[in-house]
């Protein structure tokens, strides 16, 4: 199953987008954008923990998303030293646009057959939750030398 999921994901990514407004994202950028849909004012630490990205890699991803106009960083109102990451309107629009394109591609590939869709989604969500819950710890900072 994992092999098929990876192949399907790659096929979807390979075809690109028909709408010229859609912004192509790397896998890491997509994970961050997906997380921000449900956590619209997240700290970089929270994003790193949720996506499994190391903080150094996350910093580069955030810079890329910021340069594409999809996110913005703001000084945290609770802790003036910290920042929170927010979706821009372009980021919200792009996410919706991309998901619509994916849905169209997947629906066409399945011959518009939705008979087993609910069961498939339930299984995939269960697998996702199980994998996230058993994710090996990823250090967020370098150990002291």
Give pLDDT tens digits for 29-78: 999 999 999 998 899 999 999 998 998 899 999 999 999 999 999 997 77
Cα gap 82→105, rounded to integer Å? 40
In terms of Cβ atoms closer than 10 Å to its own Cβ (0-12, 13-18, 19+), residue 44 is: buried
pTM of the model: 0.81
The answer to whether residue 143 scores a pLDDT higher than 60 is no
Angle at 77 between CA 38 and CA 96, to 5 degrees: 25
pLDDT in tens, 5-31: 999 989 988 888 999 999 999 999 999
Interval 116-143 mean pLDDT: 81
Cβ atoms of 110 and 61 closer than 8 Å: no
What does the pLDDT read at residue 130?
93
Extents of the domains making up the chain: 24-96
Q: Which fold would CATH assign to domain 24-96?
A: Arc Repressor Mutant, subunit A (1.10.10)
Rg (Cα) of the chain, in Å, rounded?
17
Q: What is the DSSP string of 47-66?
A: HHHHHT--HHHHHHHHHHHH
Q: Which residue has the higher pLDDT, 3 or 81?
A: 3
Note the residue count of the chain: 145
Q: How high does pLDDT run on average in the chain?
A: 89
pLDDT in tens, 73-95: 999 777 778 899 999 999 999 99
What does the pLDDT read at residue 58?
96
């Amino acid at each position: 199953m994992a092999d098929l999921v990876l192949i399907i994901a790659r096929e979807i990514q390979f075809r690109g987008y028909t709408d010229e407004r859609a912004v192509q994202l790397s896998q890491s950028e997509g994970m961050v954008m997906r997380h921000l849909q449900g956590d619209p004012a997240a700290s970089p630490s929270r994003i790193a923990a949720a996506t499994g990205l190391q903080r150094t890699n996350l910093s580069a991803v955030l810079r890329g998303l910021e340069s594409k106009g999809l996110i913005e960083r703001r000084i945290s109102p609770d802790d003036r030293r910290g920042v929170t990451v927010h979706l821009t309107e372009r980021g919200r629009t792009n996410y919706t646009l991309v998901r619509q394109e994916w849905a169209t591609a997947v629906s066409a590939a399945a011959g518009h057959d939705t008979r087993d869709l609910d069961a498939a989604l339930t299984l995939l969500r269960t697998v996702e939750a199980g994998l996230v819950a058993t994710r090996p710890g990823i250090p967020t900072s370098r150990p002291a030398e």
